[in-house]
Structure formats: structure tokens, C-alpha cells
Amino acid sequence: GPLKPEITITYIAVSAIFFNSGLSLKTEELTSALMHVKLHLFVQIFTLVFFPTAIWVFLQLLSITPINEWLLKGLQTVGCMPPPVSSAVILTKAVGGNEAAAIFNSAFGSFLGIVITPLLLLLFLGSSSSVPFTSIFSQLFMTVVVPLIIGQIVRRYIKDWLERKKPPFGAISSCVLLMIIYTTFCDTFANPNIDLDKFSLIIIVFIIFSIQMSFMFLTFLFSTRNNSTFTPADTVAIVFCSTHKSLTLGIPMLKIVFAGYEHLSLISVPLLIYHPAQILLGSLLVPTIKSWMVSRQKALKLTRQPKAPVKV
């Protein structure tokens, strides 16, 4: 269409989000986030090991139902996808969570996914293909790493102006994300090859929302345990980064791995539903998570304050 999403979304929109993040993020926060190894391990293991394995186990139970088998295979491909390069960062920022950690895990997870996702697809679905790692790596580098670095460099020169004017970085990112959702829906419903029965589609939508809610709750429980060292801001980044899946990387990967597959459009449907669903669900939960984080931070401050000596 006239919006040319293959250029405006794949390159310009994603680059704009990370330039925006680079411009708004304090350099010292980004540097300290790189050292938070425990958080990064948690997110990457959950996303690329636990998530696809849990979906595979769940699909063994669903295989006896009359749900379209290609949609079920599509659910497995969703489990194998890396974290997204935009939505998790924007939602973490909207809540006021650890944005630096969200940026690192989104970028690092995407680079890991270039290698790991095709291997997971091969393991769980038995599909193999020659994946052009170099071109995907270069695309990610140009749309994620370079804009982030440029944003950080520009910030050094206009830091005082940014702190004085406080531009609406969150609103800008949300507008870009809205454009990504819109073009995704257009792509989904403009495909003439999608032949779906309504029962399977409704059940898949229900399953996708259930998976997201369950995994968000699970990551929340794990990251707020008494013996965990994660702050409330870390928990916010973990909840979004661990449960979100990339569409901008996912669809091109599916087209490469399942090239020539007659059921490619059906396999793509769960991912095309999952992506807008994760943003919709995340957006609805932002006020609730924000109020939890603020109250939790206040409670932690109170417990850390030294008690006044008791007068005898």
C-alpha cells in the first residue's frame, strides 16, 4: 500500500524508536544495565528456552482437538520467536520500569534469535532452510544499534535542552507503535490465501491471550520472590521482555524458513495475532503495573529507612 510498511515500518519506525530511546536514556543507566547479568539471563532463558518448550508440551494436549493443525504449528513458531525490538521497550518506559534493561534485552535477544530461532524451528517443527544470517544481522545493527548510539551521541550535546524542555518521548514512541500495529492488521487481513474456519480462529485468539496472561503472571511471581534481587523496576522490564515476541523479525524469518510452503499464511496467523494482542494487553495493564511498582518502591524505601532511637 501507499504507506510502504516494508520500508517505513521495518527500517524507519524501528530506527525512530531506538533513536528516541537513545536520546531520552541517561548514558549511566544504559551502562549499569549492561552489568545486570542475572536479569539478562532470566529474560533470555525464559524467552528462548522455557517459552518454546512449554508451548510444545501444551500443543501435545491440543493435538487431539479439532483445531486447525497449521494454526497449532503457528503457535509453536510464536514460542520460538525472539523478544521484540520495540513494544517491550515502549511499555516498560510507559510504566516507568527499567528501560535500559528492556533495551538491552530487546536488542540482545533479537541478535540471539537470528541464530537460535531457526534452530528451534528445526527442532520443534522439522523445517530447515538456509537463513541469510548476514543480511538479518546487518538490518538489526542498522535499525537498533546505530540509532541507539546516534541518540546517545546527540544527547551529549543537547542534554541541558532536553532536561529543560522534557520532550514527550513516550508519546512519540506510542505513535510509532500504533503505526506498526495498524500496518500489521492490514497485512493480516489483506492476505487472500488465508483460509480459516471461525472455530479454530476464535480458539487460537483465546489461547494466545491465556498464554500471555499466564506467562506474565509467572514471570511476575518469579521476579518478586523474597530471595530474588530484582527491583520493582526490573520486574516491569522482565514481565514485558520475557513474554513479548517479535513480529518485525518473526514474519521475515517465517518467510525464509518456510519458503514455498503452501500453509505459510496459516502458520503466520498466530504470530500476527500475538503481536497486537501483546501490545493491547500490555497497554491495558500499564496503569495497574505502574501503581503496583510505585507502591512497592515506597514500601521498600520505608523498610530501608533507619528506625529512630527509642527514648527511655
- Domain residue spans of the chain: 5-294
Q: Choose between 13 and 312: higher pLDDT.
A: 13
Alpha helices in the chain (DSSP H): 5-7, 14-24, 27-34, 37-45, 51-62, 69-80, 87-95, 99-125, 133-140, 146-165, 169-190, 198-223, 232-243, 250-257, 264-304
5-294 carries CATH number 2.60.40.10? no
Q: What percent of the chain has pLDDT over 90?
A: 18
Q: Choose between 159 and 181: higher pLDDT.
A: 159
Residue 66: is its pLDDT beyond 80? yes
Lowest mean pLDDT among 146-150, 179-183, 272-276: 179-183
Q: In this predicted structure, what is the pLDDT of residue 58?
A: 92
Residue 206: is its pLDDT beyond 60? yes
Lowest mean pLDDT among 236-240, 262-266, 307-311: 307-311
> Could you give the count of Cα atoms lying within 13 Å of 153 in the half-sphere of its Cβ?
6
8 A C-beta contact, residue 207 and residue 71: no
Among candidate residues 271, 250, 187, 151, the one with its CA nearest the CA of residue 8: 187
Q: What percent of the chain has pLDDT over 70?
A: 80
Lowest mean pLDDT among 137-146, 233-242, 247-256: 247-256
8 A C-beta contact, residue 36 and residue 44: no
Q: In this predicted structure, what is the pLDDT of residue 12?
A: 81
8 A C-beta contact, residue 33 and residue 100: yes
* Phi, psi values for residue 261, rounded to 5°: -75, 125
Residue 201: is its pLDDT beyond 80? yes
Lowest mean pLDDT among 2-6, 47-51, 103-107: 2-6
Residue 220: is its pLDDT beyond 80? yes
Q: In this predicted structure, what is the pLDDT of residue 46?
A: 94
